[in-house]
Amino acid sequence: MQPLDGIKIVDLSALAPGPFCSMVLSDLGADVLLIEPPPGATSRGPFDPTNDLVRDAAFDPFRRNKRSITLNLKDKEAQQVVHRLAKDADVFMEGFRPGVTERLGVDYQTLRKVNKRIVYCSITGFGQDGPYKNLPGHDVNYLSIAGVLGIIGNGDGKPVPPYNIIADFAAGGLLSAVSILSALWARQKTGEGQHIDISLTDGSVYLLAQIAYDYFHKGTKVRPGKMRLNGGFPDYDTYICKDGEYISIGCLEAKFWENLCKALHKEEFINARPPGDKPEGGAHIRAELARIFLTKTRDEWFAYLYDKDIAVAKVNHVEEIEKDPHLLARQMIVDVPGPRGQAYRQVGVGPRLSATPGKIRSTGVPQGSSTKEVLTEMGYSKSEVERLIATGAAVQA
């Protein structure tokens, strides 16, 4: 048993936040059906028929545990297919800019007439209203408006985009999953679904709750490379080692800092680190720590400090996480059996539930691989399925 057994999700989203959200829910047992456009119908580049689509899909964690149907939603009959899918669905997800689903005939108000219990989740950059709602954007833009980008960097004046982990996956994907689960729980009480308006910008601001508190309450203006938690102090930073790799130190608490100083034979620094508003007071400590960490390799330092009750960690490269003993022990890197008798390496399941654990039930399938199967399950006759494919309303890979 898995916690979301029996929950049916129709996922019309395409870019990172939506697929990540439905991956999380599928890992927990939800039955996810991707609705995808015909090949070459999007602006993400031309369709390349030379790609090994089976292999690509099998490695893709965003496609695992899911099936895929290809529909041309500009076709009225394809829209009717979506309406029939929505009738039995618990959740419908989309990631278009405001107004697009209305033009495609698959908006919340339309689908609610088909199924008043449906939980409809819209994921956009700026939300369904407000002056920026139609502004195009990506992770870096949402973080800019939210104030997140302005606190990341080394203090040299140039903000540093932190890949697309924060807005897309944390503020977008995870917050969408939490919201969908909350709406499903509310439906248990009310009997009705609702519309969820997820804004990646809103979610990024939400993640700033503690930092915003410091400003609203104390007037603290956070600047990159100047604060204790973004590299402004010697007790919470990264240091380059002899081999050119980095080690991270996070000794905020007095006991961890004391243990570090003792391990480095620098007891005179125990009571000398600067207070929270004086980063410049720790310049001499930082310089000495930098000199010390250059005397050993990253792995040598980690092995030496590991068992001394110090907040320390290696700064792994992505290619190193598949070898990290802790991540392997936690099954966060796994080999998933898939097509052609091969195993495909992916990240594992993040949520850890003791009684109803998550599971990777299958690798992903190429776009449109399930079209005939799904249409037949919905009650379409063989001739109707063939006609939908012949007219281009649906596509079978």
Task: List the catalytic residue out of 75, 83, 138, 214.
Answer: 138
> Residue 341 and residue 338: Cα distance in Å, rounded?
6
Q: Give residue 64's identity as a one-letter amino acid code.
A: R
CB 315 within 8 A of CB 245: yes
CB under 8 Å to 356, separation ≥6 — which residues? 1, 2, 3, 29
Instruction: Characterize the bridge pairing of strands 312-314 and 333-337.
Output: unpaired
Distance separating alpha carbons of residues 188 and 324, to the nearest angstrom: 42
Long-range contacts of 255-260 (CB under 8 A, 24+ apart): 255/309, 256/309, 256/310, 256/311, 259/308, 259/309, 259/310, 260/235, 260/305, 260/308, 260/310, 260/312
Residue 195 annotated as catalytic: no
* Residue 266 token pair: 């620098």
Whether the CB-CB separation of 395 and 389 falls below 8 Å is answered with: yes
- For tokens 């790609």, the residue is 51
- 113 alpha carbon, distance to own chain's centre: 31
Choose, from 11, 90, 107, 168, the residue flagged as catalytic: 168
Q: CB 240: neighbour CB atoms within 10 A?
A: 14
Are 91 and 180 in contact by the 8 Å Cβ rule? The answer is yes
- At 231, give phi and psi (nearest 5°): 95, 10
Distance CA 60, CA 347 (A): 10
68 three-class SS? strand
Identify how many contiguous H helices and E strands the chain contains and give both numbers.
15, 12
Written as one string, the DSSP assignment of 192-260 is: ---EEEEEHHHHHHHTTHHHHHHHHHH-----TTTSGGGT-STTEEEEE-TTS-EEEEE--SHHHHHHH
Tell me, yes or no, if 138 is annotated catalytic.
Answer: yes
Catalytic residue list: 138, 168
